[in-house]
Structure 1
Amino acid sequence: MNIKPIGVVKSDLKFKSESPTQGTYVENSEAKIVLNSGSNFEQALDGLQDYERVWVIYQFHKNENWKPMVNVPRLENEKKGVFATRSPYRPNSIGMTCVKLVGVNGREITIAESDMLDDSPVLDIKPYINYSDSFLTKQPDWLDKAEEDEYQIFIPEYLQKKIQYLEKSAKLNLRQFIDTQLRFKPLNQDRKRIEILDDSESGTKAKISFRTWRFEYNVDRESLKVFMLNLYSGYRKEELKEGEEDPYGDKNIHRKFNKKFN
């Protein structure tokens, strides 16, 4: 069997930690599918613009292995077989997502509500058709019971300035990361790089890591609210001295950030 990518996804979602469990969680974020040249794909797209949604078959290109049993986002401490889930850890690393179609221009398809990472190889595109793609079918009991509490996230103005600075200067999609990681299960240490700093009647204070950056926040589980507190460098002061090793190539932006905000 010979399967070749027909194009690639261009998205602001660069890392797996930014990708939501469902594309509908990123309603306002747009991405593009750029099809390969020289294959008459412009003609192949004729008529696609008349649909509201399309299926995209793509490759989980950042997954290096598969797992027969996987964690289910909505279940605590319970695993299911990978074929009973939509986990990306599949034997052939093939994903399928239903995205909102915004527009078609030549070989470029603009989409929204996408959970695909940047540079994901696209294998096929099919229209979503109501009468053939929508079924009211039976689901496992564990899926029906596994409802998630959705948290509201509050970011103060002083922290928004830090986020805006890094999003502009370091091209980091920090607001998407916060929404993806903390909107549901903001204290789940099994699936996220989270450290609990304090747990009291007034709430739980925690820290979450995004690459070499750290966010601190408070969680009120009764009101289902997350209050963002701070954003700072994950490097120690001595690690940011000139001449120190820079394996991720980002220490200069950390120095500039510290100079501006500390």
Structure 2
Amino acid sequence: MLHRVAMEDQAMTGIHCSDNRPDPPVTYDVRPIGWVRCDQQWPFDAPRQPGLLDNRATIEILPLYSQALTGLEEFSRIWIVFVFHNATEKLVIRPPRLASGSVGAFASRSPHRPNRLGISSVRLAFLAEQGVLGFLGFLRHQLSFLPDDTERKRVEKAGDREWVISYRTWRCRYTVDFENRICSVTDVFSGWNAAELGEGSEDPWEDKALHREYCRRFTSSTGDTKE
């Protein structure tokens, strides 16, 4: 059985599914070159329609492929081909609020697709060194837009125009000058308290030795970072 789809694009005249295929079917192994991280972890965290949320994500490229980023900063937008790794394989889905019932997966924006592949055109904000966004890159990324957003970020209000943002087991205190659009970092401190940093305490992230050394070198008795 042959199915044809007419295409408007001049580069493609049709798509067809034919019985004249190799036996066994051709398969391709896809090797990931990095990972995508964003504040939205579940489908219900994101709006159903695009453009309603000023969402930003981070792509962490594996060191093996970091040289492939050379020159990418010259572009304002890039195409991202990714895998819906949590999706299931569905040929027919039922879009929300669709009175007519179910439609095929290719007639929808559902992430549940036969091959779980997705593609997005995104705006490139900046590149971090070595293709990995570290602590400084995280702050630059998070504080460059809506730095006082306590609803969708790991941010807590700490005082008048002062907030604390969490990065893994670390905390960063900063102030915001809204009139001049300036964020100023005033302190970086451990997310573990004194009892949690005690010798012999459980160390689920295997980083408490680093926190103890940081507190010894840079933190005063009041808990603020030394000048």
- How high is the TM-score relative to the length of structure 1? 0.44
Confirm or deny that 1:188 pairs with 2:149.
Answer: yes
* Structure 2, gaps ≥5 residues long: 1-24, 40-54, 66-74, 89-94, 97-107, 220-227
Q: Percent identity?
A: 28
Q: Hey, what does 2:163 align to over in structure 1?
A: 206
Map Cα deviations across residues 212-253 of structure 1 (whole Å, 9 max, x no partner): 100000011111111111101000011111111111111111
Equivalent pairs, count: 148
**Against the structure 1 CA distance between its residues 5 and 32, is the aligned structure 2 distance closer, same or farther, given a 3 Å change threshold?**
farther
* Structure 1, gaps ≥5 residues long: 35-51, 70-81, 84-88, 101-111, 119-170
Q: 8 Å contact 2:162–2:173 — kept in the other structure? A: yes
User: Shift in Å at residue 185 of structure 1?
Assistant: 0.4
Q: 8 Å contact 1:30–1:113 — kept in the other structure? A: no
Q: Distance in 1 between matches of 2:26 and 2:202?
A: 43
Return the letter of the residue paired with 1:185.
L
Match of 1:224 among 176, 181, 195: 181
Q: Distance in 2 between matches of 1:172 and 1:255?
A: 24
Return the letter of the residue paired with 2:183.
V
Return the letter of the residue paired with 1:181.
Q
User: Shift in Å at residue 59 of structure 1?
Assistant: 2.0
Greater relative contact order (CA < 8 Å, ≥ 6 in sequence): 1
Match of 1:8 among 32, 41, 44: 32
Map Cα deviations across residues 126-168 of structure 1 (whole Å, 9 max, x no partner): xxxxxxxxxxxxxxxxxxxxxxxxxxxxxxxxxxxxxxxxxxx
User: Shift in Å at residue 3 of structure 1?
Assistant: 7.0
- When Rg is computed on C-alpha atoms for both structures, the one with the higher figure is 2
User: Shift in Å at residue 8 of structure 1?
Assistant: 2.2
Q: Hey, what does 1:179 align to over in structure 2?
A: 140
**Against the structure 1 CA distance between its residues 180 and 2, is the aligned structure 2 distance closer, same or farther, given a 3 Å change threshold?**
farther
Q: Distance in 2 between matches of 1:60 and 1:96?
A: 12
Return the letter of the residue paired with 1:190.
E
User: Shift in Å at residue 97 of structure 1?
Assistant: 4.6
Report the secondary structure of 1:258's partner residue: helix
Report the secondary structure of 1:232's partner residue: strand
- How high is the TM-score relative to the length of structure 2? 0.50
**Against the structure 1 CA distance between its residues 232 and 54, is the aligned structure 2 distance closer, same or farther, given a 3 Å change threshold?**
closer
Map Cα deviations across residues 60-114 of structure 1 (whole Å, 9 max, x no partner): 55x689xx89xxxxxxxxxxxx95xxxxx944573435699xxxxxxxxxxx957
